[in-house]
Each structure stands twice: as C-alpha cells, then as structure tokens.
Amino acid sequence: MTFYIKPPGGNISLSSLYKDAETRLLFLCQLEQCWGDMEEVQRILSQHPNIAANSDCLIEGSHKDRSSHYVLRLACLGNGQFQSFLMEAESQFFEYRLYLGEKAAVKSTVLTLLRHVKYALKHLKLASPYHEQLLQIKEASSEVLAADMLDCGKGTVCSHQIKVPWILAENLVKGRHVIVTRGKAEVQCEHLMQLLCSVFRKTLEYGIRQLSESDEEESFFHDPRMVQVKKSLCKLFRRQYRGGGYHVSLAHRILRHQEIESQVQYFPLCMQSLHRTLVKNNRLRHHARFRYTLFLKDIGVPWQENVAFWEHYYSRPHSGAAAGCCHTWKGNDGHRYTYGIRHLYGMEGGKKNYTSHSCSALQEMKPQPQEPGGCPFTSQAIEDIIHLSPRLHDTPHIQQAIAKEMRTGRPNSACKILLGYTKLISQDLPTTTLRVIIMKSAWESQNLQEGGVDGGGNPGGDSDVPGEGGSHSSSSCCCHGCGTFCKIFLKYTIGRSLQLTFYILDIATDVGVAYTDYIKGDIIFASITLGLVFAPGLLFALFAFTQVLMSHTGILACIKAPLWLIGFPFLPLWPIFRDLHQIYHGVMALFPANRKYHLAFLNKPSRAYLLKFLEAFVEAAPQILLRLYKITLRKQEMPFSKLGPLEIVQVSFSLVTLANKLISTQQKTITTQQIINGDIDNSERFRLPCLVQLLGFLWWSTFLVARFEVMAIFAGSLKWWIFVVIGVHVVLVFLFQTLGLQKHGLQRIFIYLFSAFVFIFAYIQFNMQARIKVTVWLSYTVYSILVLLENSVMLVVWYFAQEVATANYPEEDQLAFASHRQLLIYIHYGVFSFSMLMLVLTFWCAPNFRQNKVEEDEEEMKAIRVS
C-alpha cells in the first residue's frame, strides 16, 4: 500500500492533473457514503461509469495515484471540513486496499513504508514533529519485520507482538484493544492491519500539517491555473459531500429559532416534510430528528438556537404513539438532547464536525410506515408532490417539468426546479422568465448527474460552450447574452475565419515583399524575409526533435526525429489546415443534432497553436523591425519618408498579428511546463469583455509602433549597435528566468531564450508571475516605464548621431532634416502616451477576475443561506 510519504515527480498535463483529482474525489465521496458495506463499495465503479472511465488514478502506487492524492491534499489546505473528509476517506481507501490484498498486501505495505520513510528522512526537508514521527514509524516498521509478524495469517492469534508509541496506534488505544505501558502500546499480530491503518492516518495528518506550514503551498498556488484547480475541487467537494443540493440561500446573518417557521417554504421538500411532521406531532423519531438537526446546523442555525428550537416543540405534549417518541424536554431528557445537539456540532464526544446528509444518501433511503424522511422525488408520485407543495396546484407547466425529471430518474433536477420556482415566485417575475430560469436550472442539474461535476468547470478552460466543460462566466461579453448557437458561431466560425484570414495574409505579404526585394536585386533582404517565414517552423521542429530524443528511444526516435527536421518547411501550413478543420466542425456544430460530436473535435488540444504562437513572436516581430529598418536605409536623413504600398500592408498585417497575439496571451499565464506538455491550446480562453479586448489591442498596437519606430531608426543610424541592445536584453531576461532554478533541460533553455527575445519589444507574463510577486497592472507599468527610458536614450543617441552626420549638408537641408527628426520624436511620444492611456483604460475597465473568483469562492464556503 502507498502511504504517500514520497512526493510525486515527473510531468503531467493540466487537464490530466485536474481530471485525475476530480475522479479521485468523486470516488472518495462515494466510498465515504457507502463505507461499512464492502459489497456496495465494490460496486462503485460499475454504478458510476464516469469514475470507471478514468480509474487509472485509483491504481495503487501509480504515478496518477500519487499525483491525484497530492493535488487533493493541497486543495484541502485551509478548509477544515475538506481536510477532515480527506483524512477519513483516504484512510478508508487504504483500509479497503488492505482488505482486498490481505496477507501479501500487508507485507508489501510494510516494506514500501520502510523504504519511503528512509527516503523522506534522507532527502526531504521536514518539520521537527513530522521528522520525529517518521523516525517512530521507521523503528516500528523495522520491529514488525524483525518479529516475523508478516508470516502470520490474517487475524491470527499468536505470541508475536511489538511495542510502538501509543500515538501510532491511536485507534487501537481508543478501542481498548491494546495494553499501554509507559507510552508504548503492545500490538499483536491480529491487530497489525489496524496498526497500519492508524499509521496511515497519522502520516496523512502530519503530511497535511507539514504542507500547510511549508512554502510549497504558496509556490504551488501562485500559478493561477492551480488556484483554479483548487477552487474547482473545493466546489465539487461541497456539492458532492454536502448534499449536492440544498439549493437554498441563507441571509448573511444567523438564523434564529423563531425565524425557522417563516423560512420553511424555502427548504428542500424532504426537510419541509420533516418540519410538517414535527409541527403536527411535536416529535420526530430519532433518525429524522438527527437529519433535521444537521440540516438546521448547515443552513446557519447556531447550536444554542438549535437547542431552543427543539426545546420549543419537545416541551409540548406529544400526540401519542403516532409521534414515535414519548420523551419530553423536562428532566434528564433535556440534558440528553442538548448533549446530542452539541455532539453534532463537534463540541462533545469525539469532536467530529458532522454534516447534513447528501441527496444521494436521502434518495437511497427506503420509506418506512412510521419513519418520515428520504427524498420525496424518489419515493412518491407526482400527485403526492403536488399535495406536499400547494404552490404547484395552478402551475401545470411546472408540474410537467417536475414530472418529466422524476420519470427520467433525475430527482436532483426535479428538486432544483421546485426550489427555483418557490424562490422566484416571491420576486413576482413573469411566467416566461420563470420558465426560462427553471429549465436552465433543470439542464444544470442534468449536467451534474451525467458529468459528475455541477458547474465546477474545467480549469483548463477547454470550452466556452455550455455543456462542454467550460465556464459560463468566463466567456466574453459579446457572448454573455447569447445562446449556444451564437457562442459557437462567434468563436468557432467567425473567430477562426478571421484568424485564418490574418494568418494567410500575413504570410502572403511577407512572401510578396521578399519576392519584390528579389526582383529589385536585394537578395540579402529577400533571403532574410523569406527565412523568417520558415523560422517558427524550424524552431518548432528543433523543439519537437529534442523532445522526441528525450522521451523516446530505439527505432521510434530514429524514425520520428528526422521527420521533424525534414518537414519543417511545410509546418507553416499546419495552422491553416487546423483552422479550416475547426471552421468545418464549427459550422457543423451549429446544428443541434451533431453538436456534441463536433464540439469534441473543436476542443481537442493541438500544438498548431504553439506554432502560431511562435509565428507571432519569432516571425511577425522581426519582420516589422526588418522592414522598417530597410525603409530607413532609403534615406537615413529622413527615415520613413518613402513608403511602398506593399510594405505598408506587410507591416500592418504583421502588427495586427502581433498585437492580437499579445492581447490573447495577456489573458493566459503561460509557463515553461505548459509549452513542454503542449497545453497552450487547452487554456486558450478569451475572458476579457470585447471592449477591453479592443482597448488592449489599441494599447499594444500603439506601444509596438512606438517601440519599433525607435529601434528601426536607431538601427538605421548606428547599424550594429542594435544587436548590442538586443543582446543585453536577452542576456538579462535569460539570467533572470534561470538563476535559482534547478531544472535546466535543453527544452527549457530554448524556451527561456525565446521568452528573453520577446521581452525586447513586449512584456508577457511568461514565467514571471512566480518571480515578480506584484499586481499585474504594476508589472506592465514598470515595464512600460523602462521601455520609455530606453527609447528615450536611443532617440537621444540617434538625434545627435544624425545631427553630426548631416552637419556638412546645406543649411536648408539641415533644417528640413532637423524638422523631420523632431516630427518623428513627437510622433513617438504621442503614440507612446496614447498607448499608456489605453493601458490605464484596459486595466480600469477589465474586471478583476481573480479577485472576484476568490470572493465568490469564499461566499460559497459559508453556510447555505435562506433568502
């Protein structure tokens, strides 16, 4: 068995990481709910195909097993309820594995435990308590091996025994199964499995504490993608473990016992039924009282108010045997009830913080003649539901919607429709609005039951289309009010067509300019221009070539590696075929009959996006600088005074391509590992509203115009000094990214050099967020100020160099040259000032998504409130 002492290593894509953690959490929720019935536990995979489809992450000792466990361990930090659940469920999972493996599993477990403990003590930086505990575990494991306890059968009573610190056998001590002498518990062979379970739980407890006190949590969740993973998992946990569905909302204040009666109409129908029984009989049977008390606790009723609520009814006369309970609040019964309520709040006994029953648990309850409870939508007919909720009498369309969900076996959806209707009629909304909202609510609940996640979303943002794993709130404003048809049409048809058009025109104009230079006899510029067209493909081929050599061996590497190098001239065509493929599937996805099939193709990751990413920064940017430099050479005394139409078109398309890629990259946080894993396309999600994207486009376009203008005239006047400026940039940024890092593989060196080159003309948050811990707008502002200072220095040097170079010209020409130089300086500062204004407007108008998400997550962490 795996004790998860040794942290996982290796590489894994973001989507796989989240999917594995999600599957493990869903499995643990099911395991915790049906624990105690091993036959039911063994049926989890057969009853939940969504878990079985990705059950590789549950295979003991596998890479996915360890990585999914550690992601959940990190996700539960700061959430006491999640931590308690994870410790309990993982301990049960460990015990279940021991149960299946029997004697062979016990022996393997002890050997693995000893090996991992030795590794941790030698290689990991451990806090003092955790270090001491591992030393105790190491000693205990060695004693188990030395005492030949592994050779005894399961549950065998023999003379073998060991003495371990009592803290390692805490569950055995609590159950009085062992004798404790001077802090040492004497454990016999028959209790070896319980000892291992206790050691696992204690190891997990100390491991979580070690993680929360170390710097690893901060560094891990500094990546916003991992923050999104954590929030999605926490949201999934709350929806699965805390009922999946008491879709009521409570006021921000606490709920007093006198106010419960007025809020019952907003309770789920199962709890309304319990309350009506309580009001009728002044009593509830034990299990019903247990469920209702926990529900009141979870919706925000303090324990004192909960005690007062039950005292109010149990102080009244009961209605006889029909009530099922003849106790009263007076005397010892009142003290017993008070103790029981405090116990449910985690204030007495084992101090366990109990939570209300989940919807699945209530739905599995079989109705009893004398025992109210369970889910009415699984145990009663639609006529009984109408009787239980009088509001439905005059609403045939709501009755039909609920009946449809009940017939198709979706009780969660039926309950959600009723709760939504109950809440919305109090707001006096039109019937048409009610129908739209209710059916939307039903679809969301159906998506929960089919997909396993109720709105949690994929952190990788695979899709912005509803029902395909994307987040509704993350789409841009232009799609916010549209339906699925509108979103698919705008994103996959119009958006991809525009991308394809600009990409083709950018390459076509580059080839056209190169051909024009060749016709004019300027072979050097023609060769450089044409070479830059193939530069992204060559870089991508070299990157893929090294990846093949590093990840494959033998004949496979010998075949694949040369193919990348040979085929690089054709790689610029790859994004064209990719966009045509996406446009086709986007058009076909407009038809509902084929939508699901074609959306699956649209959301497939592809490294063609990485090639377009390289094309923007490695081809478009150098093309702009090269063409502007060539223009300045025509008349160095008056740069940009002679422009050709084709050159204007080429520079314009390259500028549009580069600015568009910058504003789209700004909405992502790209890291080295993301490029290595090929996950860039997965995270292509345009979260900013259209207005903000337009402001961002104007910001980057004008910023690049000012930047390239200065670099071109500086290069035209001082020739090779521009390479000194570029070299200093590359070296400084490269050192900034690599110093202090332990991983310096060949692929990472390529990526660091590439990002260092990009920083010459633009700032992207590429591997920077973990190094520059400031707000986003401040980092862009500081970069802009540094660029302005550098531009000013180059302008001053260029101005005086040109003044010296034109000193021998006639005075009239000197005045004309000086006037032109001043005009270029005015244009530079005017355009740069406009870009700074657009920068301010971009960050002023852009909503702070991360902060809003954090606030929403914190709100959801509070108790459910009744509005």
Sign of torsion over alpha carbons 749, 752, 755, 760: negative
624-639 per-position pLDDT tens digit: 888 888 888 877 778 8
pLDDT for 427 equals: 56
Q: What is the DSSP code string of 205-249?
A: HHHHHHHHHSSHHHHHTTSHHHHHHHHHHHHHHHHHHTTS-----
Other Cβ atoms within 10 Å of 553 Cβ, number: 10
Residues 20-24 have a mean pLDDT of 92
Residues 785-790 have a mean pLDDT of 90
Which tokens hold the place of 396? 């045939």
pLDDT at 753 exceeding the cut of 90: no
pLDDT for 671 equals: 53
Residues 607-627 have a mean pLDDT of 73
Percent of the chain past pLDDT 70, that is, above it, reads 73
**Between 599 and 670, where is the model more confident?**
599
Percent of the chain past pLDDT 90, that is, above it, reads 3
Assign 836 a pLDDT band (cuts: 50, 70, 90).
very high
Using CA atoms, how far apart are residues 835 and 705, in angstroms rounded to an integer? Answer: 10
Using CA atoms, how far apart are residues 503 and 484, in angstroms rounded to an integer? Answer: 27
For 43, residues 6+ apart whose C-beta sits below 8 A from its C-beta are none
Contact in structure between 572 and 537 (CB atoms under 8 Å)? yes
pLDDT for 52 equals: 85
Residues 180-199 have a mean pLDDT of 82
Using CA atoms, how far apart are residues 94 and 97, in angstroms rounded to an integer? Answer: 5
State the alpha helices, DSSP H only, in 330-370: 332-344, 359-364
pLDDT for 451 equals: 36
Assign 306 a pLDDT band (cuts: 50, 70, 90).
confident
pLDDT for 759 equals: 80
Residues 271-291 have a mean pLDDT of 86
433-447 per-position pLDDT tens digit: 444 444 444 444 443
pLDDT for 737 equals: 66
Residues 278-294 have a mean pLDDT of 86
Pick from 395-399, 421-425, 755-759, 826-830: least confident = 421-425
pLDDT at 166 exceeding the cut of 90: no
pLDDT for 833 equals: 93
pLDDT at 239 exceeding the cut of 80: no
Residues 2-19 have a mean pLDDT of 83
Q: Distance of alpha carbon 42 from its chain centroid, rounded? A: 30
543-599 per-position pLDDT tens digit: 777 766 655 555 555 666 677 677 777 777 777 877 788 888 888 888 876 676 777
Using CA atoms, how far apart are residues 663 and 693, in angstroms rounded to an integer? Answer: 7
Pick from 567-576, 804-813, 816-825: least confident = 567-576
pLDDT for 372 equals: 67
pLDDT for 624 equals: 84
Residues 700-709 have a mean pLDDT of 90
**Between 133 and 550, where is the model more confident?**
133
Contact in structure between 728 and 755 (CB atoms under 8 Å)? no
pLDDT for 857 equals: 36
Residues 645-673 have a mean pLDDT of 74
Contact in structure between 244 and 446 (CB atoms under 8 Å)? no
Pick from 116-120, 345-349, 541-545, 828-832: least confident = 541-545
Assign 221 a pLDDT band (cuts: 50, 70, 90).
low
Q: Which of 101-110, 409-418, 769-778 has the highest mean pLDDT?
A: 409-418
> What does the mean pLDDT of the chain come to?
74
Pick from 109-118, 643-652, 741-750, 811-820: least confident = 741-750
pLDDT at 862 exceeding the cut of 60: no
